[in-house]
């Protein structure tokens, strides 16, 4: 507790005082004085207990204030305390990190200077309304250091009235709602991109009826290599044997070891020696996380173990080329380098649909 008084020593002194009073009762001439002393002793004891109670109560208040101060600092959202003129009087760690400044730099500055100009007037109006009416308020605006590019956030304002002091306003920023909104936008953009790829592939496969065979497949894997991955491969099944039909991706240079070590390296591999390709064409099941580091996964051959390293392959996914009546006609394999994200289930669903489109085009 916050008390600095030694109540144990005070009580010991009172007990010793009481014993001396009792010992003095043998002198009758002092009887009246002793009665007065006893009354004084009782009053002092009552006063001491009251002081002790108040000291412990003050200690509880100090402890509560310390707890609230720590809780304010550890809030997961940026929080700011403004006086009735809109000047920052306090902020938590998250708030300082969000503004990109130290607490010492921020305190004493109007909060409005951290609100971008298109939202500044709206913020001042909302702040004045909260101070005048005493009700909570909220608005959407962009807050942060200049040119930081942060998305608009929801600001929540609440007036706090203090005893015998001017009111203050607590402001919190709802960064989590903004992050969720940003994720929704990214997910929607990815979905639109997948629909765009599907539409372009459909136009490619149906828009040129005179084009078929390797030329048509070459255009299809070129589109996929441009939009979805670094390398795209199609293997076709003929008489139960898989043969590599087309490969698309970055082109190497003849000066590198083993000739052109990108697309042509993949072209030379034998897909019939790949357990992954064999499994996909036999079962029709797709594979999302193909272990590209294992020997022979991309195809068999004298250099099959080295090609994944030469390609700098990190992620691979495979789907079947199928016709609804003829079954599996081949395999579509997509490969990405480490600088791109891994394939997802939504990616795989798109590739499976494209596999059906390409399969239908092959049977046309």
Domain presence at residue 202: no
The total of structural domains in the chain comes to 3
| Phi, psi (deg, nearest 5) at residue 44 | -65, -35
Residue 128 maps to which CATH number? Answer: 3.30.450.20
Is residue 336 within 8 Å of residue 233, measured between CB atoms? no
pLDDT of residue 299: 82
Instruction: Judge if 109 and 213 occupy the same domain.
Output: no
Q: What is the mean pLDDT of each run of 10 residues along the chain (364 residues)?
A: 57 71 60 68 74 63 74 86 92 89 90 88 91 89 70 87 83 69 64 84 75 76 88 88 87 46 76 88 89 82 70 88 82 91 89 89 78
Note whether residue 201 is domain-resident.
no
Q: What pLDDT is attached to residue 258?
A: 40
Where a domain ends, among 71, 93, 115? Answer: 71
Do 326 and 235 share a structural domain?
A: yes
* Count of residues making up the chain: 364
Distance CA 129, CA 136 (A): 9
**Rounded CA separation 364/359 (Å):** 9
Residue at 200 is within a domain: no
Q: Give pLDDT, residue 208.
A: 60
Which domain does 37 fall in, by range? Answer: 7-71
For the domain that residue 356 is a member of, what is the CATH number? 3.30.450.40
* Whether residue 264 sits in one domain with residue 163: no
What pLDDT is stored for residue 91 in this prediction? 92
**Is residue 195 in some structural domain?**
no
Domain boundary among 71, 88, 123: 71
Q: What is the pLDDT of residues 118-132, one digit of tens each?
A: 888 889 999 999 999
d(CA 5, CA 165): 30
Residue 187 belongs to a domain: no
Instruction: Note whether residue 196 is domain-resident.
Output: no
The CA distances from residue 255 to 252, 260, 265, in Å, are 9, 8, 14
Identify whether residues 223 and 355 lie together within a single domain: yes
Q: Is residue 166 part of a domain?
A: yes
The pLDDT value given to residue 253: 47
Q: How far apart are CA 175 and CA 144, in angstroms?
A: 12
Task: Please tell me whether residues 117 and 167 are part of one structural domain.
Answer: yes
- Count of CB atoms within 10 A of residue 249's CB? 21
126 and 268 fall within a common domain: no
273 and 230 both lie in a single domain: yes
Residue 28: both structure tokens together: 């009758």
- Indicate if 102 and 146 belong to the same structural domain: yes
* Pair 317, 212 in one domain: yes
266 and 298 housed in the same domain: yes
Q: In this structure, is residue 229 part of a structural domain? A: yes
Do 158 and 65 belong together in one domain? no
Of 46, 71, 96, the one marking the end of a domain is: 71
Are residues 127 and 38 part of one domain? no
């Amino acid at each position: 507790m916050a008390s600095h008084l030694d109540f144990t020593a005070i009580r010991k002194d009172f007990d010793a005082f009481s014993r001396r009073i009792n010992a003095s009762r043998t002198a009758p001439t002092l009887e009246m004085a002793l009665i007065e002393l006893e009354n004084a002793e009782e009053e002092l004891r009552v006063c001491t207990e009251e002081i002790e109670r108040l000291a412990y109560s003050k200690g509880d208040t100090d402890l509560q204030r310390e707890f609230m101060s720590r809780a304010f600092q550890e809030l997961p959202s940026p929080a700011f305390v403004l006086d009735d003129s809109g000047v920052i009087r306090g902020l938590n760690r998250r708030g300082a990190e969000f503004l990109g400044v130290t607490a010492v730099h921020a305190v004493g500055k109007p909060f409005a200077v951290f609100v971008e100009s298109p939202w500044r007037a709206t913020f001042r109006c909302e702040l004045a309304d909260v101070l005048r009416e005493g009700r909570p308020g909220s608005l959407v605006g962009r807050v942060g250091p200049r040119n930081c590019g942060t998305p608009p956030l929801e600001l929540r304002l609440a007036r706090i009235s203090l005893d015998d002091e001017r009111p203050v306003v607590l402001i919190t920023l709802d960064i989590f709602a903004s992050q969720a909104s940003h994720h929704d936008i990214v997910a929607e953009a990815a979905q639109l991109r997948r629909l765009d790829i599907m539409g372009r592939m459909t136009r490619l496969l149906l828009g040129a009826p005179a084009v078929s065979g390797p030329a048509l497949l070459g255009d299809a894997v070129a589109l996929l290599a441009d939009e979805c991955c670094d390398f795209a491969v199609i293997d076709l099944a003929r008489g139960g044997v898989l043969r590599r039909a087309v490969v698309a991706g970055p082109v190497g240079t003849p000066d590198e070891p083993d000739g052109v070590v990108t697309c042509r390296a993949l072209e030379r591999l034998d897909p019939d020696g790949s357990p992954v390709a064999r499994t996909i064409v036999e079962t029709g099941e797709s594979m999302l996380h193909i272990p590209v580091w294992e020997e022979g996964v991309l195809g068999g051959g004298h250099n099959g173990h080295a090609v994944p390293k030469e390609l700098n392959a990190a992620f691979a996914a495979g789907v079947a080329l199928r016709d609804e009546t003829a079954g599996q006609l081949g395999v579509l394999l997509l490969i990405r380098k480490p600088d791109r994200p891994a394939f997802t289930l939504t990616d795989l669903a798109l590739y499976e649909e494209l596999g059906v489109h390409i399969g239908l085009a092959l049977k046309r």
